[in-house]
């Protein structure tokens, strides 16, 4: 798997383009803003986008979804517990941020354990609530897309509507119990590894 990060928006959110490197098939993860920047990378590599996967439904992770969905005819997938956030500016917190917006509903509602297949890419859904009720991580091919569940040396906020500290603790424990090491691609900040976070991230010791 080849992963191309694209930093987007005022909150410096990490969008990712994942491609299998063989068929030219791609998955876009968390296109938060700056659709043109993401499109430039997709078009430069001549990729065909099959899915837009969302680790959760907060505004800074969904702002470019509709533009990319229309351009590439890709299917949008989010966990079922965050589905409302796509269509409600209150639920996705854009109203709280002073720039309310909503997007079209998801094409696919995900559950824990689901898999998404595109070309030679397979990503498994790991439900990791805490930052939001429907937060997920996507696992596959030695890679973990952690959204706002796990950052380098930190974790996502748990003081938003729908956030829950105890659920975050349980989700971090679930990540800690993964036997395989993964390259971690977080929703904000620098890339890291799960092994490093298990050893160095104080929140992983809760």
CATH of domain 2-205: 3.60.15.10
Tens-digit pLDDT profile for residues 101-153: 999 999 999 999 999 999 999 999 999 999 999 999 999 989 999 999 999 99
Q: Give pTM, 2 decimals.
A: 0.97
pLDDT (mean) for 31-41: 98
User: Residue 49 pLDDT more than 90?
Assistant: yes
Tens-digit pLDDT profile for residues 166-197: 999 999 999 999 999 999 999 999 999 999 99
- Locate 146 and state its tokens: 């952690």
Sign, CA dihedral 128-134-137-139, equals positive
Tens-digit pLDDT profile for residues 123-136: 999 999 999 999 99
3-state DSSP helix/strand/coil percent for the chain, to nearest 5? 25, 30, 45
Q: How confident is the model at residue 44 (pLDDT cuts 50, 70, 90)?
A: very high
**b or e along 189-203 (b: 16 or more beta carbons within 10 Å of the residue's beta carbon)?**
eeebbbeebbeebeb
Contact 76, 54 (CB under 8 A): yes
- Locate 10 and state its tokens: 């005022």
Helix, strand, or coil here: 176?
helix
In whole angstroms, give the CA distance from residue 38 to residue 118. 19
Q: How confident is the model at residue 13 (pLDDT cuts 50, 70, 90)?
A: very high
User: Residue 97 pLDDT more than 90?
Assistant: no
């Amino acid at each position: 798997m080849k992963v191309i990060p694209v930093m987007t928006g005022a909150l410096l959110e990490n969008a990712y383009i994942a491609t299998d490197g063989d068929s030219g098939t791609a998955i876009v993860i968390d296109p938060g803003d700056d659709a043109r920047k993401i499109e430039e990378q997709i078009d430069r590599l001549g990729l065909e986008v099959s899915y837009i996967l969302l680790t959760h439904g907060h505004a800074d992770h969904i702002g470019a979804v509709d533009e990319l969905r229309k351009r590439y005819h890709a299917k949008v997938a989010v966990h079922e517990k965050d589905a409302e956030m796509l269509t409600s500016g209150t639920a996705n917190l854009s109203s709280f941020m002073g720039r309310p917006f909503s997007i079209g509903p998801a094409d696919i509602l995900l559950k824990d354990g689901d898999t998404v297949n595109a070309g030679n890419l397979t990503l498994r859904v790991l439900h990791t609530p805490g930052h939001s009720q429907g937060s997920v991580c996507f696992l596959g091919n030695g890679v973990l897309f952690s959204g706002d569940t796990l950052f380098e040396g930190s974790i996502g906020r748990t003081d938003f509507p729908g956030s829950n500290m105890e659920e975050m603790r349980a989700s971090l424990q679930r990540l800690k119990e993964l036997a395989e090491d993964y390259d971690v691609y977080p929703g904000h900040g620098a890339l890291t590894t799960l092994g490093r976070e298990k050893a160095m991230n104080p929140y992983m010791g809760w």
